[in-house]
A and B are shown apart, each in its own frame.
Chain A
Amino acid sequence: QKEVEQDPGPLSVPEGAIVSLNCTYSNSAFQYFMWYRQYSRKGPELLMYTYSSGNKEDGRFTAQVDKSSKYISLFIRDSQPSDSATYLCAMSASRNNNDMRFGAGTRLTVKP
């Protein structure tokens, strides 16, 4: 079993839809959680960062962490074609990220 599980998709939705992306993990020591957006031929861009459990909202994006279930989610409201990218979840037990683990990435396409 991988430490971090993420459905690679691909996921295709119409413009304006609500997108839900998820990861599960097995290491209960993880406490720093990140979502990255990666456009084709580009480096990963940090989209959302959450420490421990709870919700965080930034514009159309909401990140949720449920440590009791070892489950994290990223919601995208009013999805746009420009949101088409690969989304990677990542997590770490250390604030220096020297034990960072990544999901496989979910490829999202938002169709106009």
Chain B
Amino acid sequence: SAVISQKPSRDICQRGTSLTIQCQVDSQVTMMFWYRQQPGQSLTLIATANQGSEATYESGFVIDKFPISRPNLTFSTLTVSNMSPEDSSIYLCSVASGEGEQFFGPGTRLTVL
């Protein structure tokens, strides 16, 4: 299994500002994913981040709003830009083992006022 850490674990932000979430994995992985989980809801995939290529965004999510970096095989960042209260959610990064399993980080709980 992979050990994944995220920073920050939680934050309270003002409307119109941006927050960058960091995701660190203890081993090299090809595929990393960013999800959003709104209260009481299941997980919604924001984008897939592969090292050395542009992130692939799901329908309803755009790069200007959620820019992603993937500088190496153990690290990725997700920025939530120009935040509004509707962006209040838990943001999760995950990695694929390449053998069918997927592991999640502890999440970043974001509240936008």
Task: Give the interface of A toward B (CB within 8 A).
Answer: 31-32, 34, 36, 41-46, 49, 51, 88, 90, 92, 95-98, 100, 102-105
Contact = CB atoms under 8 A, between A and B. Distances in A.
Contacts, number: 60
B101 A44 contact: no
A42 B106 contact: yes
Given A43-B107, A102-B43, A96 B92 contact: no
Nearest to A6: B42
A51 B100 contact: yes
A85 to B, nearest CB: 14
Nearest to B99: A95
B73 to A, nearest CB: 14
B27 to A, nearest CB: 15
B21 to A, nearest CB: 13
Q: Which applies to chain A's interface (DSSP): helix, strand, loop or mixed?
A: loop
A46 B43 contact: no
B104 A105 contact: no
B101 A34 contact: yes
Which of A44, A51, A105 has its CB near the most chain B CB atoms (within 10 A)?
A44
Interface in B12-43: 30-31, 33, 41-43
B13 to A, nearest CB: 18
A92 B99 CA distance: 11
A79 to B, nearest CB: 23
